[in-house]
Amino acid sequence: MGNCIYKIQIDQKAQTHDQIEQKIVDEVIKDEIIQTPPLIEPKKILTQNYEVVVQENSDSQTPNVFSSQSSNPQVKYQQDLQLSPDILVRNQKEGEMFSLHYEIIRKLGQGGFGSVYQVKHLKTNLIRAAKVIQKQAIDDEQLLISESQILKDLDHPNIVKILEVFSDAQNIYIITECLCGGELLERVRSITNYNEDIAKYYMQQILSAMVYCHNRKIVHRDLKPENILFDDKDINSNLKIIDFGASEKIISKKLTTKIGTPYFLAPEILGSNGYDEKVDVWSCGVILYILLIGKAPFRGKNQLETLQLAQKAHLSFSGQRWNNISPEAIDLVKHMIQKDPQKRISMKDALNHKWIQNQSKQSIQFDQDFFKEITKFKGYNNLRVAINQFVTVQISKKEEKYKFLQIFKSLDKNGDGLLSQQEILQGMINVKMDKIESKLMVKEIMEKIDTDHSGRVDFTEFLTASIIQEQMFLKESLKSAFRLFDLDGNGTISRIELEEIFGGIQIDNSAWQDILAACDNNKDGLIEEDEFIALLANLE
């Protein structure tokens, strides 16, 4: 979760017209104003209307441009229980001490504005990652809020999951799942028989995640191998995109902030006409180039020379290494690393490219019994659904989720990170279920699992229904979940504690009574551990 380490900040009000701005951009590329920084104090260099702050990240192989500007609106906490991914993230009260909840195990990385640590949650003993960002290192704290807010709204199997946010006078702490499988290039180097098919498998996952982001108008702007990690060391481990610190949502107009990592920076980012999500396509194209032959397409003697080479966008496909690469893979690289963003392929078209789609068929990960069981999943009120999903996101372990992750990916034929009714129906037909029966059954499944009524099944919706219906939660996990909800540690969960868990919402009395009716066996108006376990284990 490396932080950005180069920042170019533009005073837009000082620009009189596009030619002046372009002239300054050209000077940034032409003149080596970005120099090797001192080890302690960052070096500030002022040039006309630019402020360049250079900082060193010893852990990163590639430098990074970071800006404190952000156009995202002020984040507001919701006051009612609307089912969405962001309610599954715990927002601690301002000033709540991080150290009372987490123990730092070891440092994972160092960035220009903070550090990333492996931490242990004290109540549950779960291992997580904590990105600790110093407020004094950031000019605009809104940028940090934007990062956490963007992550809260994302629910995709190939995007890191945010779990909790703390804020005190000195720092902001962004808690995410801990991905212990190493970085993308580390994984590639460790594979003895690495080949083009493996590169294709990894690229398909990256593109799927980015199609999901682009469908929501979110631009990552810092895609690089260091920001792609694996769940664990298993050879078939799932990969995830991390570090949305440079990301931004396109609201009404093109983005203009000069931001990114030079080796992966699209040419138009340094231009004067703005840019859109196509900059991520360029970055993914560079990643694909590296995955195929092991070196970057644009690599100068220094960062400025690298930027100059990227501006020219002259690709070379000569040499022995390229002789072993398929024409289809080369074709995709050419379409992604295209200087003109208008001619550059979209992320969706890249995902649908013949090279990506021509993958060896994997065995079907589900059978008729799976669909018959999932149909039995009970519909609940929003509070019950929120509790179930909160536990799935916050507590469930990889071994509890792995089977259903594979099923979800098998069903998600278009790779957009969502399941449509047609995709689920096709899955039923693929396992030889009766077509008429399947059409009736799929409607019932959608009604029960599509809890936010979006018309498609999100990843967490699918995981929650699958794990609970097949009673895959380990008892240890359910006990950990209880401790997470029991905020005062008195052995019971109250209505007030549930309200605080979900960000200070007001829980409707009828919803609370429904929960008590399902599990409060001793009728004391509180939920004890055994009652909570029965509720989550789908035993009532």
Q: Which of the residues are catalytic?
A: 222
Angle, alpha carbons 442-419-90 (nearest 5°)? 115
- 504 and 375 in contact (C-beta within 8 Å)? no
- Cα separation, 361 vs 345, in Å, equals 25
Check whether 354 is labelled as a binding-site residue.
no
Q: Do you know the residue count of the chain?
A: 540
Instruction: Give residue for tokens 């009395």.
Output: 509
- 116 and 108 in contact (C-beta within 8 Å)? yes
Chain centroid to Cα 133, Å, comes to: 18
- Cα separation, 201 vs 329, in Å, equals 12
Torsion-angle region of residue 331: left (phi > 0), alpha (psi -120 to 50) or beta?
Answer: alpha
Angle, alpha carbons 144-147-148 (nearest 5°)? 95
Look at strands 90-91 and 171-177 and give their pairing. unpaired
Handedness of CA 262, 265, 268, 274 (dihedral sign): negative
Q: 408-445 burial, b if ≥16 CB within 10 A, otherwise e?
A: bbbbbeebbbbbbbebbbebbeeeebeeeebeebbeeb
- 488 and 413 in contact (C-beta within 8 Å)? no
Q: How far, CA to CA in Å, does 357 sit from each of 168, 203, 328?
A: 47, 11, 11
Q: Report which secondary-structure segment, H or E, holds 45.
A: strand 43-47
Residues annotated in a binding site for ATP: 131
Residues annotated in a binding site: 131
